[in-house]
């Protein structure tokens, strides 16, 4: 069995984004039930020198798709409101991101795997020898970092989250 570039990169990234949406839904419910302003929760950070929750969500969009998979696939990202201040706005951003990722043709994406990638970053222009290296060394680690940090910000602020909320459904058989 051969693992495609699409299956190794896009599928797990989409799962992480879907799970982030679920985590954010739990965060929205917690805010509503506890009289917490959504905008206040979206401005929370783990540490002063880290991005807030809203920026973590935006970073998932920017790094996983706009500078990652969509760039490699040649898919133009849909316009979105990056200045959201509600969980509904964050959800709409991620929903659009998933819709954009669905536009990637797996066969065309596969053909790009060994091509070089140039990515404009706030810190400069990054050059990767191959799209595979770009996804493995930059995009996927950043996606998981920002999804995990968003989860941790919510958890740190009292949102009742567990590991299963982060992981989502796992296709496994468990024996006892």
Confidence (pLDDT) at 119? 84
- From 126, 121, 120, 75, select the one nearest 101 (Cα to Cα): 75
Confidence (pLDDT) at 24? 98
Q: What is the mean pLDDT of residues 87-103?
A: 95
pLDDT beyond 90 at 153: yes
Q: How far apart are CA 46 and CA 18, in angstroms?
A: 22
Q: What is the mean pLDDT of residues 71-78?
A: 90
Confidence (pLDDT) at 67? 81
**116-121, long-range: CB < 8 A, 24+ apart:** 117/71, 117/72, 119/67, 119/71, 120/67, 121/67
pLDDT beyond 80 at 23: yes
Confidence (pLDDT) at 86? 95
Instruction: List the single range of 34-43, 119-128, 154-163 with lowest mean pLDDT.
Output: 119-128
Confidence (pLDDT) at 82? 73
Which of the four pLDDT bands, split at 50, 70 and 90, describes residue 121? Answer: confident
Confidence (pLDDT) at 83? 81
pLDDT beyond 90 at 122: no
């Amino acid at each position: 069995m051969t693992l495609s570039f699409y299956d190794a990169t896009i599928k797990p990234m989409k799962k992480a984004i879907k799970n982030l949406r679920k985590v954010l839904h739990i965060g929205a419910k917690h805010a509503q039930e506890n009289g917490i302003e959504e905008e206040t929760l979206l401005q929370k950070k783990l540490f002063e020198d880290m991005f807030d929750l809203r920026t973590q969500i935006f970073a998932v969009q920017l790094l996983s798709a706009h500078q990652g998979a969509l760039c490699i696939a040649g898919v133009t990202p849909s316009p979105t409101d990056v200045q959201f201040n509600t969980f509904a706005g964050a959800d709409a951003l991620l929903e659009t991101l998933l819709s954009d990722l669905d536009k990637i043709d797996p066969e065309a994406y596969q053909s790009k795997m060994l091509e070089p990638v140039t990515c404009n970053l706030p810190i400069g222009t990054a050059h990767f020898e191959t799209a595979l290296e770009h996804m493995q060394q930059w995009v996927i680690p950043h996606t998981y970092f920002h999804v995990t940090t968003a989860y941790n910000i919510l958890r740190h602020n009292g949102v009742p989250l567990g590991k299963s909320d982060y992981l989502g459904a796992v296709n496994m058989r468990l024996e006892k």
